[in-house]
Amino acid sequence: MSGREIRRTLRSVDSLVTAFAIPVSIMLVFVVIFGGAIESDGDYVNYVVPGTLVLCLGFGAAATAIGVAQDVATGTVNRIKTLPVMGSAVLHGHVVASVLRNLAAAVPVIGVALLLGFRPAAGVAGWIGVVLFCVAIIVAFTWLSVLGGLLLSVDAASSINFVFLFLPYLSSGFVPVDTMPSWLHGFADHQPYTPIIETLRDLMSGTAPGANLWVALAWLAGILIVGAVGSALVFGGRVKG
């Protein structure tokens, strides 16, 4: 099932553009176009890379919702459930493929960031932590997207992208929270993206994440439980074999 999803991505020009070109484009927009206006000394690239990377991982994970919705609409899920294999393998295949696809998409994002002046201070252990944390982000976001794909039509599932694209802007991903209007501080400080991005920022800078790590892991665990348990319930109760 994982190989099937990877092959489907490789055979689709739109999927390849979405997976690789869009994340790099987002990076270029924030660093090249907005960076000089926000911070003239050129250090903005070091601040914005973690937020851009998390935004890209969420955007890539959201694409899973469309694939799952297509499998439900075309009867692929029901067909697989009639075969002598674990029926939920089709969902796990989407998740594994999403992890591999998004990790691959993160490589050119980091590469472009380095060309633009990004200078992370993390050592080998720090980068291992970055990769593992990114995997946790992708898995949690992907299972939530799987749930959306099981509940929504193909057209409606595509709208999940906007959630993952919009929320990072209301976090510390692109500007410090204290620069936002005061009435936004509470939401920006206590939504999942802020501790997730701050944890990734600390890992990349070689700094111990501290309390942000535990808050981020708690958010990711909650998202994962909602997505995975909800997907299991919907898959077993509403998708009939």
Does pLDDT of 221 surpass 70? yes
CA distance 93 to 130: 23
Tell me what the pLDDT averaged over the chain comes to.
Answer: 86
CA distance 47 to 53: 11
Does pLDDT of 138 surpass 90? yes
CA-CA distances (angstroms) from residue 131 to 26, 122, 204?
20, 12, 10
Residues in the chain, how many? Answer: 241
Q: Residues 113-132: what's their mean pLDDT? A: 90
Element (H, E) at 85: none
Q: Residues 86-101: what's their mean pLDDT? A: 86
The pLDDT of residue 37 is 58
* 3-state DSSP assignment of residue 135: helix
pLDDT tens digits, one per residue of 161-217: 888 888 998 998 888 888 888 999 999 999 999 999 999 999 999 888 889 999 999
Evaluate whether 166 touches 62 at the Cβ level (below 8 Å).
no
R_g (Cα) of the chain, nearest Å: 18
User: pTM for the complete prediction?
Assistant: 0.89
DSSP secondary structure code for residue 120 in this structure: -
The pLDDT of residue 212 is 92
Q: Residues 4-8: what's their mean pLDDT? A: 80
Tell me which range, 52-56, 84-88, 196-200, is most confidently predicted by mean pLDDT: 196-200
DSSP secondary structure code for residue 117 in this structure: T
Query: Greatest CA separation found in the chain?
Result: 61
The pLDDT of residue 36 is 61
Does pLDDT of 100 surpass 80? yes
Does pLDDT of 231 surpass 60? yes
CA distance 190 to 237: 34
